[in-house]
C-alpha cells in the first residue's frame, strides 16, 4: 500500500510551490490506493502557529485535497527523543559546542582556501573532560549525526539516478542546544514509523535526502522512494521565492481563481503532458504520471490561471454557483437564465456582480454616438415596461425597424449599447428577460 505525506511547517500560508508538493503526493496516493497523511511539522514552537495550521487545512479543503490522517510533530517529541537515544547508543550522534559565530568563521576560512564549507568534525576529537568543561561553560551542546563517508545513492522518481558523496556534506545537526529536535530527524522518525513509502518534495531537499537515507538506515528503517520536483520560477525564469508570499493559496482564492483551474495547471506544469482543464479530481488522478516531470525549473505565470478559471466557470451548472447567485439577490426564478447568460461572459465568479447590477439597475453610462441619440430615444418609446421575455428583443427591434427604417448593425448596435452600455456581450434575446427596469 502506498503511504505519502504532505508535511508543511505551520509557519506561514501555503503558496503555489507548496501546492505542487501537496498535489503530487495526493495524486500518487489516490492513483495507487493508499493513505495520504497531512503532517504538520511544528517542532519549532516559536515560529509555528495554530492559525497557520488551521489555514493550511482550510486551503487544502478549498482545493478538495482530502487527507486521510493528520499528524503533528509536536505530539511526537518522545518518539524523537527515543530515536536520538538509539543513535547515541550506536555512536552516530555526537555533541558539539561551536557557537554560530565560530562555525561561520570556519566556513569562511574553508571557502577562502577554496574548500567546500563542510563541518570539520572538531567536536569528535573532544575528550570527556573537555566536553564537560565546554558544557559547564556554554551549556548543553547541539548534536550532529555522524555520516558514513561513502557515496549515498538512490533512483529519484524525477531526477533519475542520484549519487552524493557524504564527505561533501556537513554532519547534520539533529538536536539543538536547547533540546529542540530538528526536522531532519523528526521527519525520518515519522516517515519510518508511519510506513511512508513515497516522499515527493522540492529539489531544495536533495541534500537532506542524502543524509536522511543514512539516518533511516541507522535507525533500522526502510528507505522510501524519493522524488524531487523542480522549483517554480516566475514567467521570466526569475526566482519566485521572494514573491511566494503574494502567491499564497488564499490570495489566489481571493482573486477568484477556481480550485479546479489551479489544480489542472499544477498537475501538468513542468511535465511533458499538456495542461488540460479537468472537470474532476478523479480525472487528474487518472492522467497523473510523475515520470513525465522534468528536472528543469518550472515557469509559473499566475496569469495562466485566469483563462482556465473562465473556462471552468463556463462548464459549471447553476447548482455549483447557486449560493453566489442567490447572495447577489437574483430571484430564484431568474437564476437559471441569469447563469446561462453570464457564465460565458465572466473571468472570475465575482464578475457576476457587475452583470446583476446591470440587469437590476440598468447600464450606468451607455455611450451612445451623437448620431444615434435621437434614434435611441425614439426606439425606447416603443419599448414597454418590464417584465420582458425571450421574444421582447425580436418584437421591439421589429417595431423600431418599422418606425425608423434602420436595419442590420445600425439598428441593433445602438440598442445593444443603450441597454447594456457595451458593444459586445451576450445575446440580447437572453438579456431582455433579465432586465428589472426599462432602459433609458
Ligand atoms: N516541513 C518540511 C518542509 O516544509 C517538509 C519537507 C519534507 O517533505 O520532508 O520543507
What's the pLDDT tens digit per position in 375-412?
999 999 999 999 999 999 999 999 999 999 999 999 99
As a whole number of angstroms, the distance between CA 277 and CA 283 comes to 10
User: How many Å lie between the centroid of ligand 1 and the Cα of residue 60?
Assistant: 16
Question: Does 332 lie in the same domain as 198?
Answer: no
**Domain termination site, one of 232, 262, 292:** 232
Q: How does strand 142-145 pair with strand 93-96?
A: antiparallel
Cis peptide before 387 (omega within 30 of 0): yes
**Domain termination site, one of 189, 213, 232:** 232
Question: Does 337 lie in the same domain as 206?
Answer: no
Q: Is residue 371, in this structure, part of any structural domain at all?
A: yes
User: How many Å lie between the centroid of ligand 1 and the Cα of residue 427?
Assistant: 52
Show the beta-strand stretches assigned E in 176-223.
Answer: 198-202
Q: By residue range, what is the domain housing residue 43?
A: 3-232
Domain count, the chain: 2
Poorest-confidence range of 173-177, 194-198, 244-248? 244-248
Q: Is residue 256, in this structure, part of any structural domain at all?
A: no
Question: Does 342 lie in the same domain as 216?
Answer: no
- Cβ of 52 closer than 6 Å to ligand 1, yes or no, is no
Mean pLDDT, rounded, for 170-199: 97
Question: Does 90 lie in the same domain as 221?
Answer: yes
Mutate to test the pocket of ligand 1, among 201, 210, 212, 227 (most ligand atoms within 8 A of CB): 201
Question: Does 332 lie in the same domain as 221?
Answer: no
Q: Is residue 297, in this structure, part of any structural domain at all?
A: no
- Cβ 123 vs Cβ 94: under 8 Å: yes
Q: Is residue 91, in this structure, part of any structural domain at all?
A: yes
State the closest ligand 1 atom to the C-alpha of 208, by its place in the atom list counted from 1. 9
State the closest ligand 1 atom to the C-alpha of 204, by its place in the atom list counted from 1. 10
Q: Is the pTM of this model over 0.85?
A: yes
CA 423 centroid distance within chain: 38
User: How many Å lie between the centroid of ligand 1 and the Cα of residue 416?
Assistant: 56
**Domain termination site, one of 170, 204, 232:** 232
User: How many Å lie between the centroid of ligand 1 and the Cα of residue 6?
Assistant: 8
Convert the pLDDT of each residue in 23-38 to its tens digit: 999 999 999 999 999 9
Cell triple for 24: 503530487
Residue 81: predicted pLDDT: 97
The 8 Å CB, 24+ separation contacts for 303-306 are: 303/235, 304/265, 304/275, 305/252, 305/257, 305/261, 305/262, 305/265, 306/257, 306/347, 306/348
Res 245 pLDDT > 70: no
Amino acid at each position: 500500500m502506498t503511504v505519502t505525506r504532505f508535511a508543511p511547517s505551520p509557519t506561514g500560508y501555503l503558496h503555489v510551490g507548496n501546492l505542487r508538493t501537496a498535489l503530487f503526493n495526493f495524486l500518487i496516493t489516490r492513483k495507487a490506493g493508499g493513505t495520504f497523511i497531512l503532517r504538520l511539522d511544528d517542532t519549532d514552537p516559536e515560529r509555528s502557529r495554530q492559525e497557520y495550521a488551521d489555514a493550511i487545512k482550510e486551503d487544502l479543503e478549498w482545493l478538495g485535497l482530502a487527507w486521510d490522517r493528520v499528524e503533528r510533530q509536536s505530539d511526537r517529541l518522545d518518539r524523537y527523543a527515543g530515536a536520538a537515544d538509539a543513535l547515541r547508543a550506536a555512536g552516530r550522534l555526537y555533541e558539539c559546542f561551536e557557537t554560530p559565530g565560530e562555525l561561520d568563521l570556519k566556513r569562511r576560512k574553508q571557502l577562502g582556501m577554496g574548500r567546500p564549507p563542510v563541518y570539520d568534525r572538531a567536536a569528535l576529537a573532544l575528550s570527556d573532560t573537555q566536553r564537560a568543561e565546554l558544557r559547564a561553560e556554554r551549556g548543553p551542546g547541539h548534536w550532529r549525526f555522524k555520516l558514513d563517508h561513502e557515496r549515498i545513492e538512490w533512483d529519484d522518481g524525477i531526477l533519475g539516478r542520484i549519487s552524493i558523496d557524504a564527505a561533501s556534506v556537513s554532519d547534520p545537526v539533529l538536536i539543538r542546544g536547547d533540546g529542540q529536535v530538528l526536522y531532519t530527524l523528526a521527519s525520518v522518525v515519522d516517515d519510518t514509523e508511519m510506513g511512508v513509502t513515497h516522499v515527493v518534495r522540492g529539489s531544495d531537499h536533495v541534500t537532506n535526502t542524502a543524509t536522511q537515507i543514512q539516518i533511516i538506515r541507522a535507525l533500522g528503517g526502510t528507505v522510501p522512494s524519493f522524488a524531487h520536483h523542480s522549483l517554480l520560477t516566475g514567467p521570466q525564469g526569475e526566482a519566485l521565492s521572494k514573491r511566494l508570499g503574494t502567491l499564497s493559496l488564499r490570495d489566489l482564492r481571493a482573486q477568484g481563481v477556481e480550485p479546479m483551474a489551479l489544480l489542472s495547471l499544477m498537475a501538468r506544469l513542468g511535465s511533458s503532458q499538456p495542461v488540460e482543464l479537468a472537470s474532476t479530481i478523479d480525472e487528474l488522478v487518472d492522467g497523473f504520471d510523475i515520470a513525465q516531470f522534468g528536472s528543469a525549473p518550472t515557469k509559473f505565470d499566475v496569469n495562466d490561471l485566469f483563462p482556465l478559471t473562465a473556462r471552468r466557470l463556463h462548464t459549471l451548472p447553476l447548482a455549483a454557483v447557486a449560493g453566489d447567485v442567490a447572495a447577489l439577490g437574483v430571484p430564484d426564478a431568474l437564476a437559471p437564465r441569469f447563469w446561462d447568460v453570464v457564465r460565458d461572459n465572466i473571468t472570475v465568479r465575482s464578475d457576476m456582480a457587475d452583470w446583476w447590477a446591470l440587469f437590476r439597475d440598468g447600464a450606468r453610462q451607455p455611450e451612445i454616438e451623437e448620431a444615434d441619440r435621437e434614434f435611441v430615444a425614439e426606439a425606447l418609446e416603443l419599448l414597454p415596461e418590464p417584465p420582458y421575455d425571450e421574444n421582447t428583443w425580436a418584437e421591439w427591434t421589429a417595431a423600431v425597424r418599422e418606425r425608423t427604417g434602420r436595419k442590420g448593425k445600425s439598428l441593433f448596435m445602438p440598442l445593444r449599447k443603450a441597454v447594456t452600455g457595451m458593444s459586445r456581450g451576450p445575446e440580447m434575446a437572453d438579456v431582455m428577460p433579465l432586465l428589472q427596469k426599462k432602459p433609458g
